[in-house]
């Protein structure tokens, strides 16, 4: 997947302490706002008996925002807070698997 969010998390250990958490909080706020807007729009469209293809497209947006929010909520604290040290290089993995 080519998502800026995933790249940011993958290299999060190299960001200044607290910066990843700030970025994740901003991303979470943005997706909460989008989801709220999508839900309001969906209610409006449902009341007008709008084309089901249009609502299906909107449904994707709602499901995507919910999935992102769920994933963000599941992140371990050490990732969210950026408590992993940048001094530990990926090639010094002590038997861990690095992808």
More confident residue, 50 or 87: 50
pLDDT at 81 (0 to 100): 85
Mean pLDDT, to the nearest integer, of 28-57? 96
Q: Quick one: average pLDDT of 36-59?
A: 96
Residue 86 has pLDDT above 60, yes or no: no
Q: In this structure, what token pair is assigned to residue 68?
A: 């992102």
pLDDT > 70: percent of the chain: 82
**Is 80 exceeded by the pLDDT of residue 89?**
no
Cβ neighbors of 34 (< 8 A, separation 6 or more) are 61, 65
> What does the DSSP assignment read for 6-18?
HHHHHTGGGSPTT
Cβ(87)–Cβ(13) below 8 Å: no
pTM, entire model: 0.78
């Amino acid at each position: 997947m080519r998502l800026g969010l995933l790249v940011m998390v993958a290299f999060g250990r190299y960001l200044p302490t607290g910066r990843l958490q700030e970025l994740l909080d901003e991303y979470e706020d943005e997706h909460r706002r989008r989801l709220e807007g999508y839900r309001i729009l969906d209610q409006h469209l449902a009341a007008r008996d709008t084309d089901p293809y249009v609502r299906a497209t909107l449904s994707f947006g709602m499901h995507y925002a919910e999935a992102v929010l769920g994933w963000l909520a599941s992140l371990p604290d050490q990732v969210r807070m950026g408590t992993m040290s940048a001094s530990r290089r990926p090639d010094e993995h002590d038997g861990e698997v690095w992808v």
